[in-house]
Structure 1
Amino acid sequence: MEEAESSAKEPSFDGGLFGEGLVSAPAATGKGKRRGAAPKGPPARRIRVLLPLPLDTPSGGAYDYRVPNGAPLPEIGSFVAVPLGGREMLGVVWDGEPDPELAEGRLRDIIGVLPAPPMRPALRRFVEWVAAYTLSPPGAVLRMAMSVPSALEPPGQQAGWKLSAAGEAAQGGAPGYRMTPQRRRVLDVMEPGEPRAGADIADEAEVSTGVLRGMADQGLIEPALLPRPRSFTRPDPEHPGPSLAEEQEEAAAVLRESVAKRAFGVTLLAGVTGSGKTEVYLDAVAECLRQGRQALVLLPEIALSSQWLDRFKARFGCAPAIWHSELSGRLRRATWRAVADGEAAVLVGARSALFLPFPDLGLIIVDEEHETAFKQEDGVIYHARDMAVVRARMAEATCVLVSATPSLETLTNAEQGRYAAVNLPRRHGSAGLPEVTVLDLRKVPPERGRFIAPPLIEAINETLARGEQAMLFLNRRGYAPMTLCRTCGHRIRCPNCTAWLVEHRAQRRLQCHHCGHAEPIPQHCPECGAEGSLTAIGPGVERVQEEAAILFPDARRLVMASDTIPGPAAAAEAARQIADREVDLLIGTQIVAKGWHFAHLTLVGVVDADLGLAGGDLRAAERTVQLLHQVSGRAGRAESPGRVMLQSWNPDHPVMQALVSGDLPAFMAEEAEARRPGGWPPFGRLAALIVSSEDERAADRVARDLGLAAPGGDGVQVLGPAPAPLAMLRGRHRRRLLLKARRDVAVQPLLREWLSRVEVPNAVRVQVDVDPVSFL
């Protein structure tokens, strides 16, 4: 695996990290302990411990250990510290019987049990299921469920003061105690048996902390640990929320009923952009809270979801717990522990939140379920949408898949009755769907050297003149996707990848968006040495911003791209500026398509609507229609009508016609019929093998051997080997084989058998991607 292999060094979990929180097992005596010598006495008590290591062994990372005599036997799911080699590691006591054939002399003692809630059976089964489905070592999946090892130690408690027995007597007026007015005020503000922080006592009694020390010397008060404060406020399901329209209430009732059953079920919540799907599924979250269970909401871009968080606070009176990669270590620890303790009643997070230790998960929402951001492409390769369904099944929970443009896989499951479905066909309130038109660039091309066509320029000027906001959308970062030498035709490419370097003019650099390689923009052509001959080819969002500055000099502009909106704070500030009408013209990439609500934005112009249709990807048309429909949905979400203009060189393409007509169901039906005869997903199964190596010949040899050993039989076909579209990535040469099978064929046994037939040298990696989303 490309990323998993490079990070496959065994992670070191420092046993000293846990301090006094580690419940140590009695130490074995004698030199035989570390060497695994057979101890004297009764037979060893054995347990299986799964370690968070990507070990591709028959045990999958589980080893047998001994529990020393006199130590309590840890329950299955307990987190334990164990020796491995010369280090201490953390693992989980796992299901299954230890190996009775393993000689007792080879066993090593566990070091201790961590004072953390044991991993629940549902999560352990989920770890095993994901490992089996993705053909990953169970230890590699377990590592995702143990992503915050410091959380296994309970958080420290703050010291304070409480009344001693003498203090309680003095408080009741008993004689014999040296009392001053200051001490009397301290006694008056303290309650028997209730510890308080010293600073709080001193402030309320209006005394110095020296008075408290004096009272402690006299035995009137004594040190005490304060109760741990709650990390998260529990959302109030009865907090007044927005009124639901009749259609919304009907959909919400379906979801509430499903949650109240406390049983597994999957429901597709579809609806046009702006129809109020969020308010509907938040009503299901409220029902989950009434049931006393936990809810998980997965968002594709949680770090950019400030508006969503505002809507949650308005509905429940407080913020949810949040989980994503940009959290500080302290907050990650507090959140992990709050989830495990059941304190975090609602968590909103990225795909990795599926592996958090919920003790009673009752509801999983997957918002924008069609988003490819839910697919993890490195390490353990999985699709969070599909794994959310599995997690819900194992927790006896409800799963709700939400989208204005559902994936063909989800639509097919709903049509075949595997999923229930509810639909919101109209926008909420008085807002209507925007009018969509296609600008035929063959008839109304932009001026030479520019990228915005005259009709779109005119429409933007009219929109700005009315005091409304407009958006220009181009799903391409940077200034230009390619730099070309006008003298010799040389194109500057990444030295590590089969990709052109993208120009970022503001930073004066060329950058690869696949591996991160960056270099200054050269003054001379690297190939022919010509000076001043390099030119930018094609537009990126920065180039559109440059053109907009010339065309609309008085408009206040804002660029929203991953380069300019790096995290939650920047996203929240951008949303505030737009909502407060400090921005007239928004220029953005795909991050502007994800659920934003801008009441005064009435015009969306798509600079290159054909961009996603090239390349021959199986899902190219589906993805393009989803993205452009979502972008179009940003226009006209309030009282003023919206308008969308798509610039295209191919206005007769089915994607463009579907967007103009607004009949996306008909488009998806045609897409399904095009895939059905060939048995392409969702009517068949796919699995990819990606062979990679720094040595091109080694990659070719293994790919050839895999091709010769490919499985066959009825309903099974192997395509390749062939160079991957990105034939070189991060310095590694890549070859791809694609297994295509009928829907009723289990591909995992086929893949295991296939891989077992070929010896793969250490210099070569074979990455398995079951149900691939990307074909690069």
Structure 2
Amino acid sequence: MNRVRCLVLNAALGPLDYKVPDGMEVGPGHVVECPLGPRTIIGIVWEAERLPGTEVPAEKLRPIRGILPVPPLSAPLRRLIEWTADYYVASLAGVARMALSSGGALKGPATITEYRLTGGMPERLTPQRLAAMEALEGEQATIRELAGIAGVSEGVLRGLVNQGVLEPVEVDCDRPYDEARPDFTQVELSPEQSEAADTLSKAVRDAKFAPFLLDGVTGSGKTETYFEPVAEALRMGRQVLVLLPEIALTENFLHRFEERFGVAPVLWHSSLKSTERRRAWRNVASGEAQVVVGARSALFLPFRKLGFIVVDEAHETSFKQEDGVRYNARDVAVMRAHFEGIPVVLASATPALESLQMAESGVYAKLDLPSRFGGAELPSIDLVDLTQEKPPHGMWLAQRLVDGIAERLERGEQSLLFLNRRGYAPLTLCRNCGFRFQCPNCSAWLVEHRFTRRLACHHCGHETPSPDRCPECGEPDCLVACGPGVERIADEVAERLPDARVFVATSDTLNSPGRAAEFIAQVEGGAIDVIVGTQLVTKGFHFPELTLVGVVDADLGLEGGDLRAGERTYQQVAQVAGRAGRGEKPGEVLIQTRHPEASVIAALAAGDRDAFYSVETEMRREAGAPPFGRWASIIISSEDEAEAREAARRIGDTRPQVDDLMILGPAPAPMALLRGRYRYRLLMNARRSVQLQDVIRRWLGSLDHPPGVRVGVDIDPYSFV
């Protein structure tokens, strides 16, 4: 009798065995519907020898109910799911769920009704109808989507349908995308770019696992360089995956991609509508989607014939997932390439120290682009010592920086001010009684946002209207904003340079690809003089008229308990400095600091990246920190503080005694209350010889906890809050 083992998408159940009905052909990777009690659940058929389970007598097995109409998950993807679950101490079901991330895609072929203008006129032409018809010229979408585009109610559009002004069109949900053309335009590359592109293109043709680190200064043309092996993969009929760290970066990338290949790539990120996710998923699975550009979750899409992977801005910490399965997309991308037997390139102007170490040890091949494309010069960098050049009272910008912006205004050039802090002020307090506004769900102050007149928590999303009087003592007009956020810096620029046209660029204002496109068009069209932004503007943007970058508070990232603080600060400031002088005009960077002697600040001022990485490498080596040692965190949380504390104590009391392994804690997490849950942490530091994941599995697997307690494991953590 034929039986199969299924990985079901419920971590609590474990693998389950089922009977295969007569006449049904089922193999590893097939996505199937299985009975579980009275319900039907989804499972993936897996190799029984790779998925230990309880042997159930044949007569007790229930039959599979059906095979879902999608291609089976490939063996390389199944191996990636196993590796990710094993390395990050996560459940197989949790990782597999990411591969089946579009429920609609599993339902088979389908159509949807969209609408478009017919060219006719309604019997009665109201202002609303006229405005809608003008807005919908050339558009085709569902009634709901068209209503959003036109800014009218769905009722207005249904009236136009009844009048014959809009006509229905039946559309295939899974219609193929327009084909990218590898030779749509020819780009002239510099000798260094050509050499790197040829190496990568040969690796694509060889179709073997080959990891590369593309290390190029900002403005060196890394994107154009890796577009050539993308073109080579397209000529071979293979698929390509490009990972970007931020959705806001996609619009700029899409424009460059379309210029090179004639069409936009296929997008994959959390903001897509469910119909768009379905279409993308099914086209990827069928092999029709040629180039996918996406966030980290795109790594687990079921590519049919993947030929090349690019991780752009590979140093970015947003590639690390901080909840659920806590994986690092940079490292998982290398492993996907390994299982697929294809090349992968990590591209960055400021590579992670771990990536540089892999290149130094010969695991990654390193490709260098040491100079900017087209003869553009790297910007000059100067420090503004805030202990010597103090801003005016109540202000945050030193006079030298304000004078620099004023000079650019006179010359018709643009400036960028960088401060990695959203909102107006990080803390609001009452000058009468000292009351501070704190989030009720987190150990964090509420941040004032003057644009929206609200106080917000940047950890859980809690918001409350900004009050007119202190809620503690009732005193009116007594609330004081402490410290600057980007909105406060923007106000200061407007006050000191009233003619400047200022734009605040953060995840609040660039929260969709459409808004990002509008922002780019405004900057390129010269409608913005000064950009005030967070880390969102430190990468990926190319503005030829932007010649001055001011770093408002270079010391901000050095505060707190982040063990990678120096490296992260260097990367952010170097990246934002790289936005200056990317065209023909020379660029200047002014870095405001109170600690000019700090090694990271001194290295930035000297433009000496190697010196900084050398010092950082030695510090990591002495501390046994990555890449020379291993870190792991265990995070315990509960809505009941006593319950969380007791669970943490029990875990700490049963800690294993292992050579070359140090376990610190448990201690209350720096963010002791997060989203209504009390949190405790343990930190593990091990030599690379220690089988860390096995130790953690044996340790935590022997313990039971109350239902309200969650225990999470973070391998190679980036966040220590």
Q: Please give the TM-score of this superposition, normalised by the length of structure 2.
A: 0.90
CA contact (8 A) 2:68 2:108 kept: no
| Gapped regions of structure 2 (runs ≥ 5) | 114-169
Paired residue total: 663
CA contact (8 A) 2:248 2:510 kept: no
> Are 2:103 and 1:149 equivalent residues in the alignment?
yes
Matched residue type, 1:140: G
2:295 equivalent in structure 1: 350
1:476 equivalent in structure 2: 421
1:465 equivalent in structure 2: 410
2:28 equivalent in structure 1: 76
> Are 2:678 and 1:733 equivalent residues in the alignment?
yes
Among candidates 73, 77, 85, match of residue 131 of structure 1: 85
Q: Could you tell me how far 1:613 is from its partner in structure 2?
A: 0.5
2:711 equivalent in structure 1: 766
After the TM superposition, which residues 381-392 of structure 1 pair with which residues of structure 2 at under 5 Å, given as runs? 381-392=326-337
Matched residue type, 1:762: P
> CA separation of 1:467/1:303 partners in 2, compared to 1, >3 Å: closer, same or farther?
closer
1:12 equivalent in structure 2: none
Q: Could you tell me how far 1:152 is from its partner in structure 2?
A: 2.2
Among candidates 66, 70, 76, match of residue 19 of structure 2: 66
> Are 2:457 and 1:512 equivalent residues in the alignment?
yes
> Are 2:7 and 1:50 equivalent residues in the alignment?
yes
Matched residue type, 1:374: F
Q: Could you tell me how far 1:246 is from its partner in structure 2?
A: 0.6
Q: Could you tell me how far 1:133 is from its partner in structure 2?
A: 1.1
Matched residue type, 2:43: G
Q: Could you tell me how far 1:745 is from its partner in structure 2?
A: 1.5
1:272 equivalent in structure 2: 217
> CA separation of 1:157/1:698 partners in 2, compared to 1, >3 Å: closer, same or farther?
closer
Among candidates 614, 617, 639, match of residue 694 of structure 1: 639
Structure 2 distance, partners of 1:387, 1:592, is 26
Structure 1 distance, partners of 2:396, 2:406, is 16
After the TM superposition, which residues 492-507 of structure 1 pair with which residues of structure 2 at under 5 Å, given as runs? 492-507=437-452
Structure 1 distance, partners of 2:705, 2:368, is 49
CA contact (8 A) 1:304 1:572 kept: no
CA contact (8 A) 1:52 1:146 kept: no
Q: Secondary structure at the match of 2:387?
A: coil
> Are 2:259 and 1:333 equivalent residues in the alignment?
no
Deviations 1:718-748 (A, max 9, x none): 0111111101101111110011100121211
Deviations 1:283-342 (A, max 9, x none): 111122223211100000134321211111111111111101111111111110110010
Q: Secondary structure at the match of 1:256?
A: helix
Q: Could you tell me how far 1:46 is from its partner in structure 2?
A: 1.3
> Are 2:44 and 1:92 equivalent residues in the alignment?
yes
After the TM superposition, which residues 362-401 of structure 1 pair with which residues of structure 2 at under 5 Å, given as runs? 362-401=307-346
Q: Could you tell me how far 1:345 is from its partner in structure 2?
A: 1.2
1:163 equivalent in structure 2: none
> CA separation of 1:696/1:157 partners in 2, compared to 1, >3 Å: closer, same or farther?
closer
Q: Secondary structure at the match of 1:333?
A: helix
> Are 2:641 and 1:717 equivalent residues in the alignment?
no
Among candidates 611, 614, 617, match of residue 666 of structure 1: 611
Deviations 1:463-494 (A, max 9, x none): 11011111111110001000112123222111
| Gapped regions of structure 1 (runs ≥ 5) | 1-43, 160-224
After the TM superposition, which residues 160-199 of structure 1 pair with which residues of structure 2 at under 5 Å, given as runs? none
Matched residue type, 1:683: F
Q: Could you tell me how far 1:239 is from its partner in structure 2?
A: 2.2
Among candidates 291, 303, 306, match of residue 251 of structure 2: 306
Structure 1 distance, partners of 2:53, 2:510, is 53
Deviations 1:544-588 (A, max 9, x none): 111111112111221111111110000000000001111111111
After the TM superposition, which residues 552-563 of structure 1 pair with which residues of structure 2 at under 5 Å, given as runs? 552-563=497-508
Matched residue type, 1:45: N
CA contact (8 A) 1:560 1:588 kept: yes
- Over alpha carbons, which structure has the higher Rg? 1
Q: Could you tell me how far 1:234 is from its partner in structure 2?
A: 2.4
Structure 1 distance, partners of 2:320, 2:336, is 16
Deviations 1:408-446 (A, max 9, x none): 000111111111001111000121000111101111111
Q: Secondary structure at the match of 1:775?
A: coil
Matched residue type, 2:2: R
Q: Could you tell me how far 1:228 is from its partner in structure 2?
A: 9.5
2:545 equivalent in structure 1: 600
1:210 equivalent in structure 2: none
Matched residue type, 2:519: A
Among candidates 600, 625, 629, match of residue 680 of structure 1: 625
Matched residue type, 1:726: M
CA contact (8 A) 2:6 2:44 kept: yes
CA contact (8 A) 1:302 1:348 kept: no
Structure 2 distance, partners of 1:359, 1:237, is 20
CA contact (8 A) 2:554 2:593 kept: yes
Q: Secondary structure at the match of 1:258?
A: helix
Q: Secondary structure at the match of 1:376?
A: coil
> Are 2:537 and 1:628 equivalent residues in the alignment?
no
> Are 2:362 and 1:417 equivalent residues in the alignment?
yes
1:33 equivalent in structure 2: none
Q: Could you tell me how far 1:54 is from its partner in structure 2?
A: 2.7
Q: Secondary structure at the match of 1:677?
A: helix
Q: Could you tell me how far 1:72 is from its partner in structure 2?
A: 1.7
Among candidates 436, 458, 463, match of residue 491 of structure 1: 436
2:390 equivalent in structure 1: 445
Structure 2 distance, partners of 1:337, 1:232, is 11
> CA separation of 1:152/1:616 partners in 2, compared to 1, >3 Å: closer, same or farther?
closer
CA contact (8 A) 1:430 1:638 kept: no
CA contact (8 A) 1:709 1:757 kept: no
Among candidates 678, 691, 700, match of residue 755 of structure 1: 700
CA contact (8 A) 1:304 1:567 kept: no
Matched residue type, 2:19: R
CA contact (8 A) 2:104 2:274 kept: no
Q: Could you tell me how far 1:105 is from its partner in structure 2?
A: 4.2
Structure 2 distance, partners of 1:132, 1:676, is 26
1:426 equivalent in structure 2: 371
> Are 2:69 and 1:115 equivalent residues in the alignment?
yes
CA contact (8 A) 1:241 1:316 kept: no
Structure 1 distance, partners of 2:348, 2:609, is 13
Q: Secondary structure at the match of 1:581?
A: coil
Q: Secondary structure at the match of 1:429?
A: helix
Q: Secondary structure at the match of 1:738?
A: strand
CA contact (8 A) 1:48 1:93 kept: yes
Q: Secondary structure at the match of 1:439?
A: strand
> CA separation of 1:578/1:228 partners in 2, compared to 1, >3 Å: closer, same or farther?
closer
2:150 equivalent in structure 1: none
